[in-house]
């Protein structure tokens, strides 16, 4: 399911109705979109089907305990999870962190502390690295990695810059002058054929290798990735 609002989606998995209700009210007050569940097996199903920003997961649950829910969830998803343990469940804490919990809290806890930890963990996931993709081609500007169908493409700096610019403007025909301006700068004004040369380099590394047409030439206008 896709989140269509800016509100963070939190999944509260807790079988004690008072605690669950309390957490729901607190998080709703903080403008989170809350889903609750008190059963382990049911919670696992919901957690696998829905893209939450964070899950608060109690350990002692009916039908499937929280550790087992987390273990199975982690086979498919990396949704941040904070596990809730009772004061004496040291083993659960260790096991929980071992199998991929992002944090844990011991009951009883101060709600402010839980809110702070949730804010911290949802902040991390709120801004995922922007990956530009077009079919099987993907470009990660932050990591400066380009790949086709999962295979990394070895590009020089200018090749990458050119590809990134075209990907950022995909479906828009970009003129050679504009590409010179964006990728090479004013030193290259008048040398628009440098664009053609670099497009050829990119084609030799992508199109020729994978038998596709990534960069289209639009005669008299420029280049475009669609």
Site residues for Ca ion per CB under 5 A: 15, 58, 60
Tell me which H or E stretch contains 194.
Answer: helix 193-205
For Ca ion, give the closer residue by CB, 65 or 147: 65
For Ca ion, give the closer residue by CB, 90 or 130: 90
CB of 61 to Ca ion, least distance (A): 6
What's the CA gap between 128 and 31, in Å, rounded? 21
Q: How far apart are the first and last CA of the chain?
A: 26
For Ca ion, give the closer residue by CB, 15 or 33: 15
CB of 84 to Ca ion, least distance (A): 8
CB of 15 to Ca ion, least distance (A): 5
For Ca ion, give the closer residue by CB, 87 or 219: 87
CB of 119 to Ca ion, least distance (A): 24
CB of 78 to Ca ion, least distance (A): 24
Q: Which residues of 122-145 are buried (b: 16+ CB within 10 A; e: fewer)?
A: beebeeeeeebeeeebbbebeeee
For the chain, state the CA radius of gyration. Answer: 24
For Ca ion, give the closer residue by CB, 60 or 173: 60
Q: What is the dihedral of CA 204, 209, 215, 220, to 10 degrees?
A: 50
């Amino acid at each position: 399911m896709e989140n269509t609002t800016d509100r963070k989606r939190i999944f509260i998995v807790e079988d004690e109705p008072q605690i669950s209700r309390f957490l729901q009210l607190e998080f709703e007050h903080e403008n989170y979109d809350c889903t609750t569940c008190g059963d382990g097996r049911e919670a696992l199903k919901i957690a696998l089907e829905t893209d939450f920003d964070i899950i608060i997961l109690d350990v002692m649950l009916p039908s499937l305990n929280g550790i087992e829910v987390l273990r199975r969830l982690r086979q498919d998803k990396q949704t941040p999870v904070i596990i809730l343990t009772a004061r004496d469940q040291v083993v659960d804490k260790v096991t929980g962190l071992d199998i991929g919990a992002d944090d844990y809290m011991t009951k009883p806890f101060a709600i402010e502390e839980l809110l702070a930890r949730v804010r911290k963990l949802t902040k991390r996931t709120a801004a995922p690295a922007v990956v530009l993709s077009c079919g099987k081609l993907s470009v990660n500007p932050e990591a400066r990695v380009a790949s086709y169908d999962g295979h990394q493409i070895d590009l020089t700096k200018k090749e990458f810059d050119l590809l990134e610019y075209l990907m950022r403007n995909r479906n828009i025909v970009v003129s050679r002058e504009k590409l010179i301006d964006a990728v090479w700068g004013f030193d290259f004004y008048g040398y628009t054929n440098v664009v053609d040369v670099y497009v050829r380099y990119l084609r030799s590394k992508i199109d020729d290798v994978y038998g596709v047409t990534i960069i289209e030439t639009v005669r008299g206008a420029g280049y475009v990735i669609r």
